[in-house]
Structure 1
Amino acid sequence: MRYVVYGAGAVGGVIAARLALGGHDVQVVARGAHLEAIQRRGLRLVTAHDEAVVELRAADTVADLDVGSDTAVLVSVKSHQTAAIMHDVLRGTPPDVTLVSAQNGVANEATMLRGRHHVLGMVVMLPSSHLEPGVVIQGSSAKPGLLDLGCFPSGTDDRAEAVADGLRAGGFESVVRPDIMAWKYRKLMLNLGNAAQAACAPGADKDELDELVRSEGEAVLAAADIAMVSEATDARRRADHLDTSLMRARGGGSTWQSLRRGTGDVEVDYLNGEISLLGRLHGVPTPANDLLRDTVWRLAAERAEPGSVAAADLLKELQT
């Protein structure tokens, strides 16, 4: 199987580089200065132990790449960008291409399924960062990441197994699961903390916000009767596969990085906003998720620095 990584940022860039280092045919879609750097110098992968420069065919549209029925397109843009890039994907891929949502959130797979019939969901556990054009940082010095996947909405097949084989050749842990969305909803619970991490400095007040948004999330999924693997099951899967103790300066997670890069947009609508949506559909209040979603959107619009909001002030607002 050949691979196209659509969105060669922090997650997509590390996946693309490691797939290529594992001997696979890999192309990438990137934009702006990052694309120019990859085309001129290759993609530089920085790890805790060494660096590697990987030469990749790169373009700003999938139509300018070589995509066939034997290609898996790993989509790793932020969730709020998925609908827009699907227009490009549909123009540049055959009907029987394999699409893989290498993304946080739980809404991307349905968006992809509107245009292509073979869609795989992926749980992304890959500490990484991208703050400089042409450079991605692999955060884990043990396995680079855990990338379990399965068919959407459920099931397994030979294509899922082939993609997992390729990821394992690139050094990743990858298990094919028939209930991948139950795993993705558990990952969503973790990603609800991205907003407080991006908006607030570390500390007990920030941790309290994390607990509030996750408690609301658990209540909403229970009310919606959405299947989710247990926290204990998820912890056993992670075990000690990822080791970030030797990681070079990464900063924070994906939402933190969006604020630091000053992109002007964030994917919080598909993380905390997913809980807000489900809460409204099922009559469950979600004030903490609502407030953090709105706060992070304001910071993004103002091009504000990460950590510029006092968590104590947000807690006070929730108590009024």
Structure 2
Amino acid sequence: MRYIIIGAGAIGGTVGGRLAEAGHEVVLVARGTHFEALRTKGLRLTTAEGTSTHLLPVVDRPDALELRPDDVLFLAVKTQDCTAALEDWAAQPVAGGGTAGELLPLVCAQNGVESERLALRRFRRVYGMCVYLPATYLEPGSVSATCAPMTGILHLGRYPSGTDETALRISADLEKSRLLAPVVPDVMRWKYAKLTNNVANAVEAATGVIGDEDGVRLAKRATAEARSVLAAAGIEVVSEAEQKDFRGDKIRFDPLDGSKRGGGSSWQSLNRGTGTIEADYLNGEIALVGRVYGVPTPVNDALQRVANSFAREGRAAGSMSVAELTAIVDAEAAE
């Protein structure tokens, strides 16, 4: 199988680089300065073993590549960019007849739970992936993921549920590439669990803080509210104990130079000045479910609003104090 990595940033670049290291055929898809860097200098991937450069095929649009029946589309753009990417790729012809949407498997590797639903409108074979892979898009052409002994854990399954031979083959390729990829029949149960943790991304993005006492307290309020809303909706979620038990000692953060890990995906979006952030599909997902089931979500409402204002106004990541953000959340909760 050939892997087409649509969105070769932190996650896509790491997965693509690891697959290539294990001898699998990989094509990267990127845009702008990242595309130019990948095209001219290759992908510079830093892992726990060191830094390596991979000279891989790279394209900046679907029609620059002839799709094959053995291709796997690995969608690694942020959820807010999924609709455009799905529209671009679904209608692309596949050698021998048919289109990508009709024939090719599409793996959704986003935070949140919306991308699979968006994909299923256009693709017949959709796979969900719960991504636990701390990675950083450092600069055009360079990504870093220094966890060990496995680089990441990628639960994989058919959407909305089930498993099949394709999932097993993808899993086998990933596991040869230092990426643990258990195939599960209930992948969305894992993705909803990660969602309840990812709602805290807005705290880190706005304040730059997640580890001090006040930051942890605010993050826990967001997570507790998310779990309460999902429980009210009857949505099954993997417990924190089950997640921790599965990870065990399979993955730990091993910085090569003793430095702290960079910020998460939302913090990175603000830090790069992309103008967008995934809060609508993290905090906003909890707000949506809460409104459908009549459960107030003041913490996530406030965090969504603040995160979006940071992206829209170009505010620097980490430029708000935890105290200020907590006050905004408290004011929302008091209304």
Q: Is the 8 A contact 2:303 2:329 kept in 1?
A: no
Q: What is aligned with 1:255?
A: 266
Alignment of 1:195 with 2:202, yes or no, is: yes
Q: What is aligned with 2:35?
A: 35
Counterparts of 1:14 and 1:197, CA distance in 2? 22
- Relative distance call for 1:114 and 1:247 in structure 2 (3 A) is farther
Return 5+ residue gaps in structure 1 as ranges: none
Q: Is the 8 A contact 2:200 2:222 kept in 1?
A: yes
Larger displacement relative to structure 2 (246-255 or 176-185): 246-255
Quick one: which of 241, 256, 276 aligns to 1:265? 276
Quick one: which of 113, 131, 136 aligns to 2:143? 136
Q: What is aligned with 2:7?
A: 7
Deviations 1:83-138 (A, max 9, x none): 11111111225321000001111010011111111000001011110030000111
Alignment of structure 1 residues 76-155 onto 2, 5 Å: 76-92=76-92, 93-94=99-100, 95-155=102-162
State the shift of 1:201 in Å: 3.6
Q: What is aligned with 2:318?
A: 307
State the shift of 1:247 in Å: 4.7
Deviations 1:144-191 (A, max 9, x none): 100110000000000100111111111111110001000110011111
Alignment of 1:221 with 2:230, yes or no, is: yes
TM-score when normalising by structure 1 = 0.97
Q: Is the 8 A contact 1:58 1:65 kept in 2?
A: no
* Aligned-pair Cα RMSD in Å: 1.3
Q: Is the 8 A contact 1:126 1:139 kept in 2?
A: no
Alignment of 1:233 with 2:236, yes or no, is: no
- Relative distance call for 1:201 and 1:53 in structure 2 (3 A) is closer
State the one-letter code of the partner of 2:299. A
Q: What is aligned with 1:47?
A: 47
State the one-letter code of the partner of 1:288. V
State the one-letter code of the partner of 1:281. V
- Relative distance call for 1:318 and 1:52 in structure 2 (3 A) is closer
State the shift of 1:9 in Å: 0.2
Larger displacement relative to structure 2 (199-208 or 164-173): 199-208
Q: Is the 8 A contact 1:101 1:121 kept in 2?
A: yes
Counterparts of 2:328 and 2:170, CA distance in 1? 46
TM-score when normalising by structure 2 = 0.93
Q: What is aligned with 2:299?
A: 288
Q: Is the 8 A contact 1:141 1:246 kept in 2?
A: no
Return 5+ residue gaps in structure 2 as ranges: 93-98
